[in-house]
Amino acid sequence: MALWDQLKERAADMSATAKTQVGKFKNKDFANASMAVCALIAAADGTITSDEKAKTAGFITSNDVLSIFPAGELQERFTHYAGKLEADYDFGKVEAIQAISKLKGKPDAARAVIQVGIIIGGADGDFDEDEKRAVREACNAVGIAPTEFDL
């Protein structure tokens, strides 16, 4: 039970830190990278079910961390990346990773996007291996060691 409490506390701390960080990076590249990582997490197992898409879209538009962005714009970007991943997973993944990699020279913004991905991945209480792999790929795209986030 202590381990579960530690995980919940760490997630809460990361969420608070991410919100502070996100406020510093209110720009198009950051919003695109955030939604790209959310879509990658939703499609981490290779597909996005309509239920998964709806839950993820609902989460990102109501999440406190991302509240600094207009919900409609976030929804558009998420739908764009999710649609690309649904149409052709490999091609969509390349586009999503490219959006994330635009933050490579901005380590603070990149870390904040990785934190958003971790928060999204753990939102259902199960940060599974497919989701962890997607976050590791995002880490690699921005040049941050996944081990920095215990991945």
Residue pair 32/99 in contact by the 8 Å Cβ criterion:
yes
CATH, domain 14-149, list 1.10.3680, 1.10.287, 1.20.120, 1.10.10 = 1.10.3680
Tokens 């998964």 correspond to 52
Provide the 10 A C-beta neighbour count for residue 118.
Answer: 25
Q: Find all residues with CB under 8 Å of 46, minimum gap 6, and list them.
A: 89
Q: Where are the domains of the chain?
A: 14-149
pLDDT in tens, 117-133: 888 887 777 788 999 99
* pLDDT per residue as tens digits for the range 77-127: 999 999 999 999 999 999 999 999 999 999 888 998 898 888 888 777 778
Query: Cα dihedral angle (17, 138, 72, 66), rounded to 10 degrees?
Result: 0
